[in-house]
Amino acid sequence: MTPAEMEPRIVRYGDLMPCKTAFIDAHTPGSDQKENFTIIGGGVSESPDQHVHISIPHGFNIGAAGQPPKCRNSLHSHRTAEVFFVLSGRWRFFWGRWGTAGEVVLEEGDIINIPTGIFRGFENIGTDYGMIMAILGGDDAGGGVIWAPQVIEDAADHGLVLGENGSLYDTKKGESLPDGVNPMPLLTEEELKDYPEMAPMQVVGMGVRRYWDMMCLAKDAPCKVIGETGIIRDKPGFEVDLITRSSASDAMHTHEKPAVLMPMRGHWRITWEGGATTLAPGDTMSMPENLPHSAVPSMTGEASLYHIVGTDDPAGPTWTG
């Protein structure tokens, strides 16, 4: 595979194309400055303005959220895994029907595997623009977003209506629901009983791992972060490893499914049969299945890279490992 053939599978941080109208809370004060990025797969955006960088199916989606300080993403849920690692900034993740069941603050490099079936949101509590990178289970990412009822109600007050077809309509622009399309129904009180108020011990204990702990665990071999044998035991349809300078190898290897390389710190030299390139933090590279390749740091200093590869486990409820 030549470098020219590989280039469409590489998304540079500086080339990411944001969408500021991706979700129903795009006009809601406190959430109206967030940017959504769909890097691999269709993602869960509700806007036709969302740019998809790589549409090749991987069995999972890769996305990102960029937000200025004090900007938050509203309470929502997913039917498949939602995993975040903090690329830059300081972030508060919170959950529950009203976002009051628990919260945790994550720093750069930290990772969280949020259980399916609970409402969750996140907020940049740092002092500068921050970015979190996301992995969503399944090629269709679970079919979209399930919003807490108050989010849909608040959005209507600011001109945005979500159709039951999963598309947004902006009444401030004169848009309205098409004939035959009803508004997305609010979850009933009976349906809301299926969304538990999980304790911090459950969410943080099972799903949060700290960057420097993982760096220690990856000293002699890549740290299996998420997987059947991972430090987060789960089978969401993909596995996540953290690779460091001391656990990287220049030995060429392959995967039966497409793999994704996402540097966290340092510059990484990616070599494959036919070419090579260098990745920086925030870059994302999709490696085709069965293509021999290697990844090693290309400069001195701190170096870490998240590696994601699909598995044969079906995408669905988490905590099945």
pLDDT surpassing 70 at residue 200: yes
Q: Kindly state whether residues 143 and 238 are assigned to the same domain.
A: no
CA distance 153 to 45: 19
The DSSP symbol for 19 reads B
**pTM for the full model?**
0.95
CA distance 224 to 213: 12
Q: Kindly state whether residues 230 and 203 are assigned to the same domain.
A: no
Which amino acid is residue 193, in one-letter code? K
Q: Kindly state whether residues 101 and 66 are assigned to the same domain.
A: yes
Which amino acid is residue 45, in one-letter code? S
CA distance 134 to 83: 6
Q: In CATH, what number is assigned to the domain containing residue 125?
A: 2.60.120.10
Q: Kindly state whether residues 85 and 184 are assigned to the same domain.
A: yes
- Position 303 scores a pLDDT of 98
3-state secondary structure of 11: strand
Domain range for residue 236? 211-310
**Reduced DSSP (H G I as helix, E B as strand, rest coil) percent helix, strand, coil of the chain, to 5:** 15, 40, 50
**Rounded mean pLDDT, 60-71:** 98
- Position 80 scores a pLDDT of 95
Q: Kindly state whether residues 96 and 186 are assigned to the same domain.
A: yes
Domain boundary among 172, 191, 208: 208
Least confident range from 66-75, 100-109, 138-147, 227-236: namely: 138-147
Residue 144's pLDDT band (cuts 50, 70, 90): confident
CA distance 4 to 151: 44
Q: Kindly state whether residues 87 and 159 are assigned to the same domain.
A: yes
- Position 318 scores a pLDDT of 84
- Position 276 scores a pLDDT of 98
Q: Kindly state whether residues 173 and 225 are assigned to the same domain.
A: no
Do the beta carbons of residue 59 and residue 80 sit within 8 Å?
no
Dihedrals phi, psi of 115, to nearest 5 degrees: -60, 145
Q: Kindly state whether residues 33 and 101 are assigned to the same domain.
A: yes
pLDDT tens, residue by residue, 157-191:
999 999 999 999 999 999 999 999 999 999 999 99
- Position 320 scores a pLDDT of 43
- Cβ atoms < 10 Å from Cβ of 29: 9
pLDDT tens, residue by residue, 1-16:
999 999 999 999 999 9
**Rounded mean pLDDT, 243-252:** 97
pLDDT surpassing 80 at residue 124: yes
CA distance 55 to 7: 14
Do the beta carbons of residue 2 and residue 274 sit within 8 Å?
yes
Mean pLDDT of the chain: 96
- Position 143 scores a pLDDT of 79
**Rounded mean pLDDT, 232-244:** 97
Residue 74's pLDDT band (cuts 50, 70, 90): very high
pLDDT surpassing 90 at residue 260: yes
Q: Kindly state whether residues 198 and 292 are assigned to the same domain.
A: no
Q: Kindly state whether residues 137 and 179 are assigned to the same domain.
A: yes
Domain boundary among 150, 173, 208: 208
